[in-house]
Structure 1
Amino acid sequence: MAAKIKKITTDKKEASAGSEKFFVEVQKKAYYLWEKEGKPQGKDWDIWLKAEKEVLGR
């Protein structure tokens, strides 16, 4: 017997709003981490990735 595959659909507006919310949360967290670490230059990508991990880890 073959397994049934359930198709999941999402509203594009809803998905876009979720993406925007995630981006804003990461942006705020990255800024906080950047300030906390003494506003280092050249570490923006490292701090952004750290912020993403922290936001996703909630």
Structure 2
Amino acid sequence: MKASELRDKDQAALTKELNELLKAQFSLRMQIATQQLSNTSQLKKVRRDIARVKTVINSKGAL
């Protein structure tokens, strides 16, 4: 997911995207805890996507 794609979305869509990413992060953390996740780099990608969404939400709020 690119930041330019996120900037085109409205506030409600960004909030929905953030909630989905947080759920995905929780799911990945549980898979790591139960040793069911083989590709641990997915967690890093989700964390970065969460940071991107939060950054865009904060920048839109400041405008």
Q: Please, what TM-score do these two structures have when normalized by structure 2?
A: 0.45
Pick the structure with greater CA Rg: 1
Q: Please, what TM-score do these two structures have when normalized by structure 1?
A: 0.48
Higher helix content, 1 or 2: 2
